[in-house]
Amino acid sequence: MKNIYLLFYYSIAQFLPMQPIPGYKFFYKFRYFLVKNIIKHCGKDVIVKNKAYFGNGSRLSVSDRSQIGQNCRLSGDIILGSDVLMGPDVIIMATSHAYERTDIPINKQGEAEEKPIIIGNDVWIGTRVIILPGVTIGDHSIIAAGSVVTHNIDAYSIVGGVPAKLIRKRI
């Protein structure tokens, strides 16, 4: 049955429009219904924006009232806490390529060990943020648009840049 939900999501639902197009609430509910039956865990009132990609969803957990952003790409073992806001074009990758050996082309070395990503509660992830494998982002944090997050972020932090650095604390 999961394959049928995946088929409907990737062939139809992901392309349905968002706010402010008339009927957008129905489209949100339709995507939510499908995603709830696809991903590992889906909390209450999750919003899935259009063109979100998460593979087969088997390693994605999303908690209550969180949003999966427009045109995002989520890959690997990822946990999104409650009340997470995600801007468009966000990339969260818990997987990567192996590259240690120089005598073998990178494309022949396979995948590196997967490193789970954990996003805390009440986190705002800005437009076009990239979060790399193994990162944990603490509760109540803000990740500025265009940032590349390569290391753990403490709770109540505002970070930005490439690589992301602490701008200030929220408390």
**Mean pLDDT along residues 10-23:** 92
CA distances 44 to 16, 65, 67, 80, 92, Å, are 21, 6, 11, 13, 22
Buried b (16+ CB within 10 A) or exposed e, 28-59: bebbbbbbbbbbeebbeebbbbbbbebbebeb
Q: What is the average per-residue pLDDT within 141-149?
A: 98
Q: What was the pLDDT predicted at 19?
A: 87
What residues contact 18, with CB distance under 8 A and at least 6 apart? 24, 27, 28, 49, 50, 70
* Active-site choice (41, 97, 140, 151): 97
Burial class (CB in 10 A: 0-12, 13-18, 19+), 119: buried
Structure tokens at 130: 């990239």
Region 50-57: mean pLDDT is 96
- Using the predicted structure, report yes or no on whether residue 151 has a pLDDT greater than 90: yes
Active site residue 97: yes
Banded pLDDT at 23 (limits 50, 70, 90):
confident
DSSP string across 102-137: SSS-GGGS-BPPP--EEE-SS-EE-TT-EE-TT-EE
- Supply the pLDDT for residue 150: 98
pLDDT tens-digit series, residues 102-129: 999 999 999 999 999 999 999 999 999 9
pLDDT confidence of residue 123: 98
The model's pTM is: 0.93
The domain 2-169: what is its CATH number? 2.160.10.10
